């Protein structure tokens, strides 16, 4: 898993069925990447709902958050609409897990992302990372502490 002071690998992933987002577009902003196993799972649903509630706090630190899993852009769209999320979910769908693998958080056994968080500074350098147990919502405290230090 990538760690503090590693350069965050750039990527371009679908955010909606017809829109892609590239990490490089957010140079000059702080970025939070929240890798998670699957849309619709109970822990993932709670985790993404929490981050939705935390958006105003992330914005105070000039930070954008992106959820990333290997689910498809269509699955993300339905999940996001169902949960009324106001931040993009990115589809690391095809080639499956390519970006998760670059960040060192792909679970080959399960065929999905591990639950992992990254805070990336305005220059594209990882300043904090955390691997959470799969069944545990990692919350937002670690993210906020990392943003405060930037």
The three state secondary structure string of the chain is CCCCCCECCCCEEEEECCEEEEHHHHCCCEEEEEECCCCCCHHHHHHHHHHHHCHHHHHHCCEEEEEEECCCHHHHHHHHHHHCCCCCEEECCCCCCHHHHHCCCEECCCCEECCEEEEECCCCEEEEEEECCCCCCCCCHHHHHHHHCC
Q: What is the pTM of this model?
A: 0.98
* Confidence band, pLDDT 50/70/90 cuts, at residue 96: very high
For 2-56, write each residue's pLDDT tens digit.
999 999 999 999 999 999 999 999 999 999 999 999 999 999 999 999 999 999 9
pLDDT tens readout for residues 50-91: 999 999 999 999 999 999 999 999 999 999 999 999 999 999
Residue 44 a catalytic site member: yes
Under the banding of pLDDT at 50, 70 and 90, the label for residue 132 is: very high
Calculate helix-pair angle for 42-53, 73-83, nearest 10 degrees: 60
Choosing from 15, 44, 91, 147, the catalytic residue is 44
What per-residue confidence (pLDDT) applies to 6? 98
Q: What is the mean pLDDT of the chain?
A: 97
Domain 12-148: give its CATH code.
3.40.30.10
* Token pair recorded at residue 37: 């196993």
Is 142 exposed, middle or buried, given 0-12, 13-18 or 19+ CB atoms closer than 10 A?
A: middle
Segment 106-134 shows an average pLDDT of 97
Q: How high is the pLDDT of residue 2?
A: 98
Domain parsing of the chain, residue ranges: 12-148
Mean local confidence (pLDDT), 131-146: 97
What's the confidence (pLDDT) of residue 27? Answer: 96
């Amino acid at each position: 898993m990538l760690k503090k002071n590693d350069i965050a690998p750039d990527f371009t992933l679908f955010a909606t069925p017809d829109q892609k987002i590239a990490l490089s577009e957010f140079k000059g902003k702080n970025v939070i990447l929240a890798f998670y196993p699957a849309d619709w799972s109970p822990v993932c649903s709670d985790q993404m709902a929490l981050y939705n509630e935390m958006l105003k706090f992330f914005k105070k630190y000039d930070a954008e958050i992106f959820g990333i899993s290997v689910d498809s852009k269509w699955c993300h769209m339905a999940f996001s609409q169902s949960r009324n999320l106001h931040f993009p979910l990115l589809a690391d769908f095809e080639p499956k897990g390519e970006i998760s693998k670059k960040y060192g958080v792909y679970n080959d056994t399960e065929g999905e992302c591990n639950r992992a968080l990254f805070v990336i500074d305005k220059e594209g350098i990882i300043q904090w990372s955390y691997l959470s147990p799969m069944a545990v919502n990692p919350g937002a405290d670690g993210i906020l502490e990392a943003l405060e230090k930037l």
